[in-house]
Amino acid sequence: MIEAVIIAVLALPLATAFGALLARTPRSADAINVAGALATATGALGLAVAGIARADEPAHGGWYVLDAGGGVFLAVIAVIGLLSALASPLQLAGQGRGLVPAARARGLYYLAFHAFWATLLAVPLVDNLALAWVLIEATTGGSALLVAFSGKRSALEAGWKYLVLTTFGLAVALLGIILLYTLAGSGGDLAALDWRSIAAAAPQLPETGALAAFVLIIAGLATKVGWAPVHNWLPDAHSEAPPAVSALLSAALLPSVAFVAWRVLVTLGPALDPGAGSAVFLGFGLLSLALAVPFLWRALPWKRLLAYSSLEHMGVLALGIGFATPLATAGVVAHVAGHALAKSLGFYAATPLLRHVPDANRQPIRGLAAAGPASATAVGVSLGALAALPPSPLFVSELLILLGGLSAGETAVTIIAAALLALGFLGLAHALIEGLVGEPRPHRWRPGRSARQITRLTVVCTAGMLVVTVLACLLPGSEPVELLMRGVG
C-alpha cells in the first residue's frame, strides 16, 4: 500500500509536466501546473506525516524507506515545490524569447520544473546509496536547463558551470560508492548499499578503506550541497535562475543532498575512528561560514546576497549534523524548515523586484520601503529571518545547534561558529537596513498583480515560520528527536 502511494506521489509531477507541455494555451498550462502541484504536495505531505508518525518503526520496501528523517525533508520539499509552482505563472508572464522560443517556453519550463521536483521528492525516500546518487545526478540535467532558462549569456555560463562542477563532484562521490561497494564484499548484489546493509557491515569494514570511501562520498556530495570550498557554482546559478527555481534549488535541493550525506555519516560512521566522520562535517561547516561572512558584508545584488546566505546556512546544517547530539538534531530539523521558508520568500520577492527595478540583478537594492511596500515587507521578513532575528525559527535553531555543540564537547568549534554567525548577522542586518530605508535609486514602481501575489506569499511563509519557531522550542528533549536520530539511518 505504501509503495503504491509513493509511486503515485512521484508520478503526479511527471504527469503534470507532460500535461503542461501539451497544453494549447498559456492559461491552461498554468492551470495544469497549479492543479498538479496541489495534488503532488498533498500526497507528499501525507507521506511525510506517515513517516514522522511511525518513526519508531520505519516502513521499508524493495527500494524505498519511509522514516522520520525522510519525512521531515519530504515535507520541506513538498511545501517549497508547491509554493514555487504557485509563484511560477507570474514569473513567466510577459516573458519573451529566452533559451527556447516564447511560444514553447511555458510548456518546457513546466516540464523541467516538475521533473526536477519529482526527482527531489524521491531523494529522501530511496533506501539505497547508489540509487540516491543516481537521483541526485538526475537533478543536475533538468535544473541546469532551468538555471539557463532566460537564455542570457550570463545564465548560460552559470548553467554550464553548475553542470560541470556538480557532475565532477558527483563523479568523486561515485568513486567513494564503488570503493564502499568493493569493501562490503557484496558479491554483485546492489542491496549491499542499502542503508541498513551499510550500517550492519560498517563494524567489519577496514578502517582505512572505510575512511577513504567516506571522505570521497561526502566531498563529492559537498559540491551539490554547496559547502565551501566546492561551492563555486552556487552564487552564479542562484543569481541567474528564475526566482521560483532559485527557491527550489536553495530551499529543497541543497538540504536534500545534505540529508543523503547525513545518512552516510549515521550508517558508515561506526566503521571510522570515533569522531572522524563528525570532524569532516564540522570542517565543511566552519569553512562555509568563514567564506560566506566576507561576502555577506559586501553590498551585493539581491539574489547573489541570498546565494551567499545559502552558503552560510548550509554550513550551519553541517555543524548541526557533525555535533550529532539531540539538541543539535532538533536544531537541524528546525533550521531546514525555517531556512526553506525564509529563503524561498526572498527569491519570490525577486520577481516584482526584477520587473520594476531591472538593475536589482546587478546592483544592491536601496530604499525599497518607499517604493514597493509589498516587496519591502517580503524582503524585510526574509532577511530578518535569515539573519536569525528573534522570533525567527533560525534564531532558535542556531541556538540549539550551538548548545548541541557544547553538549558534544566541541567547545572551540562552537565558539568559532558563534563568532562567525555573529559576523554574518551584522552583514545581513546592514543589508536589511540599507535595502529598506537606504537612499533609493530612481525607478518607476507600478504595483499590481505581482504586489498582491507577493503579499499572499509573505503571509503564508511568515505564518509557516512562526509555526516552526513554536515547534523548535518544543523539540529539545522530546521523544521524536531521539526517534529521528535513529530513523536517519
List, for residues 88-103, the tens digit of each pLDDT value.
988 887 565 566 666 5
Q: Could you give the CA distance from residue 223 to residue 161 in angstroms, rounded to a whole number?
A: 12
Q: Please determine, for residue 482, whether its predicted confidence score (pLDDT) is greater than 70.
A: no
141-150, 289-298, 422-431: segment of lowest average pLDDT: 141-150
Binning pLDDT at 50, 70 and 90, where does residue 384 land? very high
Can you give the pLDDT at residue 18? 92
Q: What is the average pLDDT across 414-431?
A: 95
Q: Please determine, for residue 74, whether its predicted confidence score (pLDDT) is greater than 90.
A: yes
Can you give the pLDDT at residue 10? 95
The larger pLDDT score, comparing residue 75 to residue 366, is at 75
50-64, 116-130, 153-167, 257-271: segment of lowest average pLDDT: 50-64
> Quick check: 165 and 232 in contact, CB under 8 A?
yes
Could you give the percent of the chain with pLDDT greater than 90?
Answer: 64
Residues ≥6 apart with Cβ < 8 Å to 450 = 90, 351, 352, 355, 356, 374
Can you give the pLDDT at residue 97? 56
Binning pLDDT at 50, 70 and 90, where does residue 32 land? very high
Q: Please determine, for residue 194, whether its predicted confidence score (pLDDT) is greater than 80.
A: yes
Claim: this prediction has a pTM higher than 0.75 = yes
Q: Please determine, for residue 479, whether its predicted confidence score (pLDDT) is greater than 60.
A: no
Can you give the pLDDT at residue 95? 61
Could you give the percent of the chain with pLDDT greater than 70?
Answer: 90
Highest mean pLDDT among 93-107, 303-317, 466-480: 303-317
* Mean per-residue pLDDT over the chain, rounded: 89
Maximum distance among all Cα pairs of the chain, rounded to whole angstroms: 68
Cell numbers linked to 19: 500535461
> Quick check: 210 and 270 in contact, CB under 8 A?
no
Q: What is the average pLDDT across 317-335?
A: 94
Q: Please determine, for residue 104, whether its predicted confidence score (pLDDT) is greater than 80.
A: no
Can you give the pLDDT at residue 1? 78
The larger pLDDT score, comparing residue 366 to residue 357, is at 366
Q: What is the average pLDDT across 321-341?
A: 94
**Could you tell me how many helices (H) and strands (E) the chain has, helices first?**
20, 2
Can you give the pLDDT at residue 438? 67
Cell numbers linked to 37: 502541484
Cell numbers linked to 77: 520539499
Can you give the pLDDT at residue 184? 84
| DSSP letter assigned to residue 59 | E
Partners of 128 in the β-ladder: 194
Q: Which helix (H) or strand (E) holds 60?
A: strand 59-60
Residues ≥6 apart with Cβ < 8 Å to 271 = 202, 203, 205, 207, 210, 211, 214
Q: Please determine, for residue 195, whether its predicted confidence score (pLDDT) is greater than 90.
A: yes
> Quick check: 458 and 378 in contact, CB under 8 A?
yes
Highest mean pLDDT among 200-204, 255-259, 430-434: 255-259
What SS3 state is found at 38?
helix
Q: Please determine, for residue 347, whether its predicted confidence score (pLDDT) is greater than 70.
A: yes
Q: Please determine, for residue 26, whether its predicted confidence score (pLDDT) is greater than 80.
A: yes
Q: Could you give the CA distance from residue 116 to residue 241 in angstroms, rounded to a whole number?
A: 14
Nearest to 212 by CA among 257, 254, 273: 273
